[in-house]
Amino acid sequence: MALEKITATTGRAVPVPGDDIDTDRIIPARFMKCVTFDGLGEYMFYDVRKKEDGSDTGHNLNKKQYQGASILISGNNFGCGSSREHAPQALAKAGFKAVIAEGFADIFLGNSTQLGMPCVTLGHEDRLQLSQWVEKNPREEITIDLDTQQIRYADKSVALGIPASNRQALMEGKWDPLQELIENQEKVEVVARSLSYV
Amino acid sequence: MSKTLYQKVWDKHSVDQLSDGSTQLFIGTHLIHEVTSPQAFGMLEERGLRVKYPQRTFATVDHIVPTNEISEPYSDPLAQKMIEALRRNTEYQGITFFDTPTGKQGIVHIVGPEQGITQPGMTIACGDSHTSTHGAFGAIAFGIGTSQVRDVLATQTLKMNKLKVRRINVTGKLGPGVTAKDVILHILKELGVNGGTGYAYEYGGEVFDNFTMEERMTVCNMSIEGGARCGYINPDETTFAYLKGRPYAPQGADWDASVEEWKSLASQDDADYHDVVDFDASQISPTVTWGINPGQGIAIGEPIPQVKDLAPELQSSATEALEYMGFSQGQKLEGIPVDVVFIGSCTNGRLSDLKEAARMIQGRKVAPNVTALCVPGSQIVAKQAEEIGLDKIFTDAGFQWRQAGCSMCLAMNPDKLVGRQLCASTSNRNFKGRQGSPTGRTILMSPVMAVAAALEGKISDARKVFGQKGE
């Protein structure tokens, strides 16, 4: 089954302000009592979006002008904490196709890439400027171009960061590695036999 | 320059270079639990795949198990469904499952070591970020997502990029009443919650040389809180003595051969590190968090920092934390009333943690305003604790003595904070809402400090509360 070659993503964006947004925030643990990932989109950022009485907060994610956004913009160390893939799954199921942040936690970055969801970085100033522009122009689209390694919005183009192997895997449609791992089974056997344990 | 343990273990387990330049890495030992594995088994079945090396995967159930009910079905039907899914999947695929009736169930990061499954020189993966715990044995151990759990089940390998290695030395002697938990909270405070992104942390120096395995596990456990996906300590005689005779440890002639191999894997003195950070043990105090990430810590007795004195990149998070916690800059935490005390978790739910806590309690009572829980990390820890009467010390003092599980560390079972309750907790994360109430608040600390909070009913300096005993 060939995977999509992800060379660019275009869509409207929503700023989710804050640094160190952890995966508990993205999907609270109480919503992980499930044996499939179906339906997680509904609970994405639940405690950020909902007050304890179930009514909506004033967070950007609830604002009308950002509905339909497919690119999330946040601060540094996005996705820290728990390794739960439920977090990128919830974002994807809520309609997000990519995340722009000042930095990502390693496990979240790996999990998202493996789902075909590009995570790209901007420096602090570039990220702030982009967020401010999006707040003024919420209905406008932005483009994350992995090929040229630029984020384009309005008449601007800023350089993005992405680990080389992630970029290549996304662009070549190899972001889900399972098939490649399976095809190497003979070499895997060699390593398995060489180990002194099990 | 010679190689680090990380490099040697990586080389031994490298299968191939993949098309995008990353490495296909063999995972020698795979641990699974009920929360992050069912979807992986589902994906396997969708593709008609079987588990390739079922003898290399071990399962337990920890996150969703209630700690106050034994009989099934559990009162939460979703929890029941999850434990049953794991039973079905492990049975069908021929995977060893330390299920509740075995007497060996517990938090996955406590079960692996106590069974002797965790050994030096292994690569260990688990769909759980606190897999870094197993690095205490000189293993390269890290948390993975569920699609990666699928990859390990199907191929016993992962696509990985090699990490850099930072050596963290803690030299000198820890002061009286300063524990392993304080060491890691101090390191997190100094290096930050993302200082370790892209790194493995190698801990060493006099303090780690003198630590027990359980203390080493407490430190490695929280490496991920600093952004380091794995943290490890080179194996030594302490490691070997802990492992010898455990059910899955090598036996007889294999034991001697294994010890020789393990010794050869340790980083040499002239190993090549990407960087080195030194800490002076005498500068570490009992440490507590005041904010909403584990790096927002202070020595007990110190005031919460002024936001303007923090590095610019830490200021917005600090402001957000103060607002959430209801604390002010310059405030001291000592004396703040607590509602709940939680002793347990994969960070501090081992026998030595419970023993140390119980030693402080003897003869005293939990303050009337406090709900105090002690949750052993595994059924074996519970049994050993009960054999030496710890359960009675805890219950006589007014603690609730519970059954093994993750419990209030992340509150996927019925153990949850209510409303804005403030919890003195021996767990690993003080994130907003982490302990089950969307507005609940957590202060991370050592077991001894948590006991002091329980007895005094407020955040306290254990050294003052217990005098010489606290030292």
Q: How many CB atoms lie within 10 A of CB B430?
A: 28
Question: Judged by CB atoms within 8 Å, which residues 346-405 of B form the interface with A?
Answer: none
Q: In a 3-state reduction of DSSP, which class is residue B21?
A: coil
Contact A19 B313 (CB under 8 A): yes
What contacts A117, CB < 8 A, 6 or more positions away? A88, A91, A92, A96, A97, A98, A99
Q: Any chain A CB within 8 A of the CB of B55? A: yes
Q: Which residues of A touch B13 (CB under 8 A)?
A: 191, 195
User: Is the fold of B5-265 the same as that of B302-470?
Assistant: yes
| B58-100 tens-digit pLDDT | 999 999 999 998 899 999 999 999 999 999 999 999 999 999 9
Distance CA B340, CA B369 (A): 9
CA-based nearest distance A30→chain B, Å:
5
Reported as a pLDDT band with limits 50, 70 and 90, residue B468 is confident
Q: Name the DSSP letter for residue B228.
A: -
Report the C-alpha gap between B232 and B242 in whole angstroms. 16
Please state, as a whole number, how many other Cβ atoms lie within 10 Å of the Cβ of residue B101.
Answer: 10
- A189 in a structural domain: no
With beta carbons under 8 A apart, name residues in chain B contacting A124: 313
The pLDDT value given to residue B411? 96
Region B298-319: what's the mean pLDDT?
Answer: 97
Spell out which residues of chain B touch residue A177, defining contact as CB-CB under 8 Å. 18, 151, 159
Find residue B140's DSSP bridge partners.
Answer: B123
What pLDDT score was predicted for residue A91? 98
First-to-last alpha carbon distance for chain A, in angstroms, is 33
* CB-based contact, B431 to chain A, within 8 Å: yes
Chain A residues with beta carbon closer than 8 angstroms to that of B64? 33
Q: Which two tokens stand for residue A7?
A: 């060379």
- Whether residue A195 is contained in a domain is answered as no
Give the one of A105, A177, A178 whose C-beta lies nearest to B197's C-beta.
A105
**Whether residue B66 has a cis bond before it, omega within 30° of 0:** no
Size of interface A-B (CB pairs under 8 A): 211
Contact B107, B346 (CB under 8 A): yes
A33 with B13: Cβ contact below 8 A: no
Provide the residue type at B390 as one letter: L
For residue A189, the chain B residues in CB contact (below 8 A) are none
CATH (one of 3.30.470.10, 3.30.499.10, 3.40.50.720, 3.90.650.10) for B5-265 = 3.30.499.10
Alpha helix ranges (H) inside B266-343: 312-325
Residue A122's domain spans which residues? 9-173
Between CA B114 and CA B116 the distance in angstroms is 5
Rounded Cα distance between B423 and B339, Å, is 6
Whole-number Å distance between alpha carbons of B45 and B97:
19
Question: For residue B373, what pLDDT band results from cuts at 50, 70 and 90?
Answer: very high
> What pTM was estimated for this model as a whole?
0.98
- pLDDT for B378-404, tens place per residue? 999 999 999 999 999 999 999 999 999
pLDDT at B362 over 90: no
Q: Is A179 on the interface with B (CB under 8 A)?
A: no
CATH, residue A146:
3.20.19.10
Question: Which residues of chain A have a CB within 8 Å of the CB of B119?
Answer: 197
Please write the tens of the pLDDT for every residue from A5-52: 999 999 999 999 999 999 999 999 999 999 999 999 999 999 999 999
Query: From A1, which residue of chain B is nearest by alpha-carbon distance?
Result: B47
Chain A residues touching residue B128 (CB < 8 angstroms): 82-83
Of A25, A88, A182, the CB nearest to B431: A25
For B314, nearest residue in chain A (alpha carbons):
A19
Nearest CA in chain A to B131: A83
**DSSP string of chain A?**
-PPP---EEEEEEEE---SS-BHHHHS-GGGG--SSSTTGGGGTTHHHHB-TTS-B-S-GGG-GGGTT--EEE--SSBTBS---THHHHHHHHTT--EEEES-B-HHHHHHHHHTT--EEE--HHHHHHHHHHHHH-TTSEEEEETTTTEEEETTEEEE-B--HHHHHHHHTT--S-HHHHHHTHHHHHHHHHH-S--
Does a structural domain hold residue A51? yes
Structurally, how many domains does chain A consist of?
A: 1
B312 vs B52: CA distance, rounded Å: 49
Label residue B469 by pLDDT band (50, 70, 90): low
- Rounded to 10 degrees, what is the CA torsion of B5, B130, B16, A89? -160
Structure tokens at B157: 């390998």
Q: Is residue A161 one of the residues assigned to a domain?
A: yes
Domain spans of chain B, in order of start: 5-265, 302-470
Any CB–CB contact under 8 A between A15 and chain B? Answer: no
Find the mean pLDDT for residues B93-116: 98
Instruction: Please state which of the four CATH numbers 3.40.50.720, 3.30.70.360, 3.30.499.10, 3.40.50.300 is assigned to the domain occupying B302-470.
Output: 3.30.499.10
Answer yes or no: do A77 and B194 touch at CB < 8 A.
yes
Query: Tokens 């830490």 correspond to what residue?
Result: B314
Using the beta-carbon criterion (under 8 Å), do B85 and A198 form an inter-chain contact?
no
Domain assignment present for residue A82? The answer is: yes
Mean pLDDT of chain B: 97
Torsion of CA A59, A64, A69, A73, to 10 degrees: -30
* Residue A3 maps to a domain: no
Task: Please say if the pLDDT value at position B471 is more than 70.
Answer: no
* Separation of alpha carbons B162 and B164, rounded Å: 7
Amino acid at B27: I
Percent of chain B with pLDDT over 90: 97
What residues of A are in contact with residue B47 (Cβ under 8 Å)? 178
Residues of A in contact with B243 (CB under 8 A): none
CB within 8 Å of chain A, chain B residues 193-232:
193-194, 197-198, 224-225, 227, 229
Tokens of B268: 């040499």
Distances in whole angstroms, Cα of residue B194 to Cα of each of A110, B168, B290: 16, 15, 18
| Spacing of C-alpha B471 from chain mean position | 24
Q: Which of A5, A42, A123 is nearest to A75 (CA)?
A: A123
Contact partners, residue A8, CB within 8 Å, separation at least 6:
A143, A144, A145, A146, A147
β-pairing, A8-15 vs A141-145, is: antiparallel
Q: Evaluate whether B12 touches A193 at the Cβ level (below 8 Å).
A: no
The amino acid present at B304, given as its one-letter code, is I
User: In chain A, whose CA is at the least distance from the CA of B158?
Assistant: A181
Residue in A closest to B118 by C-alpha: A197
Does any CB of chain A come closer than 8 Å to the CB of residue B38? yes
CA B2/CA A117 separation, integer angstroms: 38
Q: CA triplet B22, B25, B28: central angle to 5 degrees?
A: 165
For residue B441, give the H/E element and its range.
strand B441-444
The pLDDT-based confidence of B374 (bands split at 50, 70, 90) is very high
- Average pLDDT of span A159-188: 97
| Interatomic CA distance for residues B282 and B174, integer angstroms | 5
Q: pLDDT tens for residues B236-295? A: 999 999 999 999 999 999 999 999 999 999 999 899 999 999 999 999 999 999 999 999
The token pair at A179 is 């098939």
Distance between CA atoms of residues B391 and B373, nearest Å: 11
ipTM of this complex prediction, to 2 decimal places: 0.98
What is the per-residue pLDDT across A123-142, written as a single tens digit (0 to 9) for each?
999 999 999 999 999 999 99
**Cα–Cα dist A159/A156, whole Å:** 10
| B458 in reach of chain A (CB within 8 A) | no
Mutate to test the interface with A, among B123, B155, B256, B289 (most CBs of A within 10 A): B155
